[in-house]
Amino acid sequence: MLDTDPPRLSAMPLYTHLDRIERGLAAQGIGPHEPIRPEQLFALDQWHYHGTDAIAAAARALGLGSRSRVLDIGAGVGGPARYLAHTIGCHVTALELQPELHAIGVDLTRRSGLADRVTHLCGDALVEPLPAASFDAVVSFLAIVHIPDRPRLFDRLVRALRSGGGCYIEDLCMRAPFAPRDLDDAGRIVYANSLTSQADYARDLTGAGFSDVTVTDLTPDWAPFAAERLAAWRQNHAAYARVHGEGAYMAQELFYTVIARLYDSGSLGGVRLVARRP
Ligand SMILES: C[S@@+](CC[C@H](N)C(=O)[O-])C[C@H]1O[C@@H](n2cnc3c(N)ncnc32)[C@H](O)[C@@H]1O
C-alpha cells in the first residue's frame, strides 16, 4: 500500500485481530460453537468507555423498557445491543458497517440466546433503509466519529424515530484545533471523519429536527480514564498477550497510546448528547 492510500476502517487497530474475542472466551473454557452467558462477553464486546455502565446509563436516560424498539448505530460486535436486550428485554436493531464485525455479532448473539431480541443488520448508516417512525430510541457509542456526513445521518435518524422518541450518543469531539501530526493520527489510527466541537455536534442535531438537545462534556472523565487505561494495558502486557496474542496486544496498545496523547494535547474530547424527536 502507498503512503498516500486513504486509511481503511478495517485496518484501524481496534478492528484487527478479531480472534481476540474467541481467545477470550476460550480462556473462560468456552469453545467456538458453545453457548455463552451474556455476562461472559462483557469484558470482550463493549468497545466504548465504561463498559456496560455506560449502556445502563443510556437505558435510564431514555426510559427504555421491555417493549422499546431500539436502533444501535455502529453496533460493533453487538455488545451494547445484547446488554440492552438481556437486561431490559427490549428489541434492538444492531446496524454495523463492517461485515467481519457483523458476522461475529450474529454468532455471539445466537450463542447468547438473544437472537429473538437482537436483529443484526450489516450496512452503512448513511444508506441502509430505515423504516420511518419505527424506533422508540436510537443509541450510538463511539461510532458516529467514523461517519463522514453527520447532518445526513441525523436527518435519517430523526425520521426513523417515532414522535417523542429519544436519541443518546456518546462520541469523541474536538476541543481545540489539532496539531498536524495529531490530525494525521486522528485520521489514520482513530479513523475520525467528523471530529468537531460539541456545539457543532449539537447544531447538527437541531438542524436535523431534534429538540431538547442536552450536551455533557465527558472530557474530564474520559481523558484521565484513557491515561489510566494505557498504563493498566502496559502493566498487563504479558497476561493479555498470553491469552489474546501479541498482535492483539500491540494493536490496542497503539490505539490506546494515540488516544491518550490526543487527549493530553487538549484537542480531543468526549461528549454525550441526548435529544428527542418532537
Ligand atoms: C468504536 S466501535 C463501537 C462499537 C459499539 N458501538 C460498542 O460500543 O461496542 C464503532 C463501530 O462503528 C462502526 N461504523 C463506522 N461507520 C459506520 C457506518 N457508516 N454505518 C454503520 N456502522 C459504522 C464501525 O465499523 C465500528 O464497529
Query: What is the predicted pLDDT for the residue at 221?
Result: 98
Q: Residue 150 in 3-state DSSP? A: helix
Q: What is the pLDDT of residue 168?
A: 98
Q: Is the pLDDT of residue 22 over 50?
A: yes
* % of residues, the chain, pLDDT over 70: 97
Cα 61 to ligand 1 centre (Å)? 21
Which residue is closest in CA terms to ligand 1's atom 10?
Answer: 143
Closest-CA residue to 87 (of 71, 73, 66): 66
The correct answer on CATH 3.40.50.300 for the domain covering 9-276 is: no
| Mean pLDDT computed over 132-161 | 97
Task: Give the Cα separation of 14 and 34 in Å (integer).
Answer: 25
The pLDDT-based confidence of 14 (bands split at 50, 70, 90) is confident
pLDDT band at 1 (very low <50, low <70, confident <90, very high): very low
* Closest ligand 1 atom number to CA of residue 98: 25
In this predicted structure, what is the pLDDT of residue 13?
A: 87
Between the CA of 258 and the centroid of ligand 1 the distance, in Å, is 19
Does the pLDDT of residue 3 top 50, yes or no? no
Separation of CA 124 and ligand 1 centre (Å): 10
Query: Counting atoms of ligand 1 from 1, which one is nearest the CA of 45?
Result: 9
Q: pLDDT of 105-135, one tens digit each?
A: 999 999 999 999 999 999 999 999 999 999 9
Provide residues with CB under 6 Å of ligand 1: 9, 14, 46-48, 74-76, 79-80, 95-98, 101, 124-126, 141-143, 146-147
Q: In this predicted model, what pLDDT tens digit does every residue of 42-68 receive, in sequence order?
A: 999 999 999 999 999 999 999 999 999
Q: State yes or no: pLDDT of 202 exceeds 50.
A: yes
Which atom of ligand 1 lies closest to the CA of 95? 21
Per-residue pLDDT tens for 157-167? 999 999 999 99
- Tell which one of 77, 98, 109 to mutate to probe ligand 1, the residue whose CB is within 8 A of the most ligand atoms: 98
Q: How confident is residue 7, by pLDDT bands cut at 50, 70 and 90?
A: low
What pLDDT sits at residue 189? 92
Inter-CA distances, 172 with 77, 187, 269, Å: 19, 13, 6
Q: Is 266 left (phi over 0), alpha (psi -120 to 50) or beta?
A: left
pLDDT confidence of residue 2: 41
For residue 6, the model assigns a pLDDT of 56
Report the separation in Å between the CA atom of 242 and the middle of ligand 1, taken as the mean of its atom positions.
Answer: 27
> Among the atoms of ligand 1, which is closest to the Cα of residue 128?
20
**Cα 138 to ligand 1 centre (Å):** 14
Q: What pLDDT is stored for residue 49 in this prediction?
A: 97
Find the 162 Cα to ligand 1 centroid distance in Å: 23
pLDDT digits (tens, 9 = 90+) for 70-90: 999 999 999 999 999 999 999
Residue 257 has pLDDT above 60, yes or no: yes
Nearest CA to ligand 1 atom 4: 76
Report the chain's mean pLDDT, rounded to a whole number. Answer: 95
Mention every residue, 6+ apart, whose C-beta is less than 8 A from residue 232: none
| Average confidence (pLDDT) over 10-17 | 88
How is the chain split into domains, by residue range? Answer: 9-276
C-alpha cell of residue 109: 448473539
pTM attached to this predicted model: 0.96
